[in-house]
């Protein structure tokens, strides 16, 4: 777990925020770009990378629901989480100035996070793409002199672009949370302090409340609760919960044993060190 | 409220599922197309339409988060809800056959809902657009003979397209739920049986559980719980809840009075007749 030689798969082009998260998780690792989130899961499942890093939530834009769905479709445990401060830059081919810009390319989430900045520009068309760093690559490949891309400063460096403006996100507290998946979980239980579960509640009044009381009664706090539709069962839901409890705490096994009274299925997606605990460990040695 | 002459604003082109929902809500009404969800809210706020119809949730794809955010930004009460069974068709310019099709256009949600069908086709490129009916319009306007669109049968009729395949959605139970907003709420309280609230919980352990216990203790059931980030406050959330209770039930006022002990803000977005109650009323006269 302490080796710097593991491959870490991520979605996007070099310079993507996911690449930065992969290197935050394993400094010096070989970060392997994948075209889609699905491919990140596949790459890890087939052993072509040790870890996969996937964004699950942004503090401004909300959850990345596709990755919650993919966690269910695959059987890869969550072994860590990484938080990354997002600083968006407006990038352009060298020589381009802000008044030259007629089109701005980026991922819809990044565009949404820079909404105020974009509204302040006049006569500029906003174009949604699949990727922040991919938009930077597009400018470089097509040598567009009347366009700009919103991406990281590193994406600008990778594709030889100038930074026209930096920190153009609307909210300074713009943080993306990534999870790390692996084929097997080798983290010692006592090193974990956070657990993610997914469950479906019985179709009776009060079932969600009863399920949540299982945690409350044992003093286990929820830091996140996310609902997703149960496909083919209109208005029934899956609930994903993040709990402040490690795998070695007996209250977790106890809670898992109590859940079936109000749920039709329960699965533990992983227990891992929280981003806060990891940062603390890094600071103290 | 019973007049058939109210204007109902919706997002999309004629033939959009939102148009069908508008006409389900007010048969014979003038349905007014708007380019964006934001514009639907604006049109109602400025009195250019009496009602606005907005999708908030699909039983397969999940919630339409943008409309939850817009409900907060505007001050328009929810006065009704509409449920619509979604039947997707593959549409093409007359003369085009399935083997001719090289590209398929539609909204990302519709594409996701027809995933299995799309995977069964070979050598076909899938292109995401802003609109199902707008994709049908694109085929007609550009007379594309090597492409198809996924949209409603009615969109096909509106734009003179043939139906190559019908019912291509992966799950038969594919239902979209729409809310109806108005400038003022004129529904008699005793005609309502559902209420939507939004609240932010205090940043202390167990606050969400305490807030939900306010409903459970009073026998009020939740049919939906949705979380959205509180912008600029990383890892704090707003919760949207749908409750099975009408505006005339004293337990609702009682619950609203109890919520501030565990929340920092509470807002009632509306009380209205549930889609089930409306369907029943229509059947019984």
Look at residue B197 in the predicted model and tell me its pLDDT: 97
- Average pLDDT on A123-143 reads 91
ipTM score for this prediction = 0.82
Residues in chain A whose Cβ is within 8 Å of chain B: 57-62, 65, 170-173, 175, 177, 205-206, 208-209, 212-213, 215-216, 221-229, 231-235, 237, 239, 244
Selected residue of B231, B251, B262 to mutate for chain A interface (largest A Cβ count, 10 A): B231
Taking only the tens place, the pLDDT of each residue in A182-239 is 999 999 999 999 999 999 998 888 899 999 999 999 999 999 999 998 887 888 899 9
Q: Is A63 helix (H, G, I), strand (E, B) or coil?
A: strand
Of A104-113, B29-38, B162-171, the range with the lowest mean pLDDT is: A104-113
* Tokens of residue A237, six digits: 């839901």
- Judging contacts by C-beta atoms under 8 Å, the chain B residues touching residue A59 are 229, 231, 233-235
Percent of chain B with pLDDT over 70: 96
pLDDT given at position A65: 86
Closest-CA residue in chain A for B206? A221
DSSP per-residue string spanning B75-133: ---EEEEEEEE---EEEE-TT--GGG--EEEE-HHHHHHTHHHHHTSSS-EEEE-S-HH
Fold of A89-164: D-Maltodextrin-Binding Protein; domain 2 (3.40.190)
Q: Is A172 helix (H, G, I), strand (E, B) or coil?
A: coil
Give me the mean pLDDT over the A79-92 stretch. Answer: 96
Q: What is the CATH number of domain B89-165?
A: 3.40.190.10
The pLDDT confidence band at residue B3, using thresholds 50, 70 and 90, is: very low
Which chain B residues are Cβ-neighbours of A108 within 8 angstroms? none
What is the arithmetic mean of pLDDT over B10-23? 95
Q: What mean pLDDT value characterizes chain B?
A: 92
Cα-Cα-Cα-Cα torsion B67, B68, B70, B74, nearest 10 degrees, comes to: 130
What proportion of chain A, given as a percentage, has pLDDT over 90?
75
Sequential DSSP letters for A199-252: EEE-SSTTHHHHHHHHHHTTTPPEEEEEEEE-TTSTT-EEEEEEES--TT-HHH
User: Considering chain B, what percentage of its residues have pLDDT values greater than 90?
Assistant: 75
> Do B89-165 and B189-279 come out as alike in CATH topology?
no
Residue of chain B minimizing CA distance to A244: B205
Among candidates B65, B206, B212 on the partner chain, residue whose Cβ is nearest the Cβ of A221:
B206
Q: Say if residues A27 and A4 touch (Cβ distance below 8 Å).
A: yes
More confident residue, B61 or B55: B55
CA diameter of chain A: 65
Residues B66-85: tens digit of each pLDDT: 899 899 999 999 999 999 99
pTM: 0.87
**Residue A5 CA from chain centroid, whole number:** 22
Checking if the pLDDT of B4 tops 50, the result is no
Q: Residue A3: which pLDDT band, with cuts at 50, 70 and 90?
A: very low
Domain range list for chain B = 7-86+174-186, 89-165, 189-279
Give the residue with greater pLDDT, A278 vs A225.
Answer: A225
Chain B residues with CB-CB distance to A under 8 A? 57-63, 65, 170-173, 175, 177, 205-206, 208-209, 212-213, 215-216, 221-229, 231-235, 237, 239, 244
- The arithmetic mean of pLDDT across residues A127-140, rounded, is 90
The arrangement of secondary structure in B7-86+174-186, i.e. its CATH architecture, is: 3-Layer(aba) Sandwich (3.40)
Q: Which residues contact A42 (CB under 8 A, 6 or more apart)?
A: none
- pLDDT interval class at A253 (50, 70, 90): very high
Q: What is the mean pLDDT of chain A?
A: 92
Instruction: Give the distance from residue B223's alpha carbon to the nearest chain A alpha carbon, in angstroms.
Output: 8
Q: What is the pLDDT of residue B284?
A: 63
Token readout for B114 is: 């027809």
DSSP assignment, residue B159? T
CA proximity to A25, closest of A190, A198, A267, A187: A187
Q: Which of A57, A175, A209 sits opposite B216 (nearest CB)?
A: A209
Q: What is the pLDDT of residue B97?
A: 96
A53, with CB counted inside 10 A (0-12, 13-18, 19+), is: buried
Identify the CATH number of the domain defined by range A7-86+174-185: 3.40.190.10
CA distance A45 to chain B (A): 21
Q: B212 contacts in A (CB within 8 Å)?
A: 208-209, 212
The whole-number pLDDT of residue B74 equals 95
B227/A227 CB distance under 8 A: yes
Q: For the segment A148-160, what is each residue's pLDDT rounded down to a tens digit?
A: 999 999 999 999 9
The answer to whether A222 contacts B232, with C-beta atoms less than 8 Å apart, is: no
Question: Token pair for residue A256?
Answer: 């898992």
Residue pairs between chains A and B whose CB atoms are closer than 8 Å: 91
pLDDT (0 to 100) of residue B2: 41
Tens digit of each residue's pLDDT (9 = 90 or more) over B99-116: 999 999 998 889 888 988
Distance of CA A246 to the CA centre of its chain: 21
Determine the pLDDT at residue B254: 97
pLDDT digits (tens, 9 = 90+) for B249-277: 999 999 999 999 999 999 999 999 999 87
| CATH tag for A189-279 (out of 3.30.70.260, 3.90.550.10, 1.25.40.80, 3.90.1200.10) | 3.30.70.260
């Amino acid at each position: 777990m302490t080796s710097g030689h593991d491959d870490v798969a991520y979605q996007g082009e070099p310079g993507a925020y996911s690449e930065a998260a992969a290197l935050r998780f394993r400094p010096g690792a070989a970060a392997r770009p994948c075209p889609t989130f699905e491919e990140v899961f596949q790459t890890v499942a087939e052993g072509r990378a040790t870890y996969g890093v996937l964004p699950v939530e942004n503090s401004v834009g909300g959850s990345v629901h596709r990755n919650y769905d993919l966690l269910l479709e695959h059987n890869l445990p969550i072994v860590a989480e990484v938080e990354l401060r997002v600083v968006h830059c407006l990038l352009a081919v060298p020589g381009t100035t802000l008044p030259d810009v007629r089109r701005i390319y980026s991922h819809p989430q990044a565009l949404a996070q820079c909404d105020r900045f974009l509204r302040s520009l006049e006569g500029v068309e906003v174009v949604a793409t699949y990727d922040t760093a991919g938009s930077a690559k597009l400018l470089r490949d097509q040598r567009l002199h009347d366009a700009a891309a919103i991406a990281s400063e590193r994406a600008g460096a990778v594709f030889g672009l100038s930074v026209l403006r930096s920190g153009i996100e609307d909210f300074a507290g713009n943080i993306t949370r990534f999870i790390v998946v692996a084929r097997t979980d080798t983290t010692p239980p006592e090193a974990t302090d956070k657990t993610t579960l997914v469950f479906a509640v019985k179709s009776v009044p009060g079932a969600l409340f009863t399920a949540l009381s299982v945690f409350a009664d044992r003093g286990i706090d929820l830091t996140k609760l996310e609902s997703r539709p149960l496909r083919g069962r209109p208005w029934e839901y899956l609930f994903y919960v993040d709990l402040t409890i490690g795998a070695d705490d007996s209250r977790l096994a106890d809670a898992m044993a109590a859940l079936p009274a109000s749920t039709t299925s329960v699965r533990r997606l992983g227990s891992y060190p929280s981003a806060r605990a990891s940062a603390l460990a890094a600071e103290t040695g």
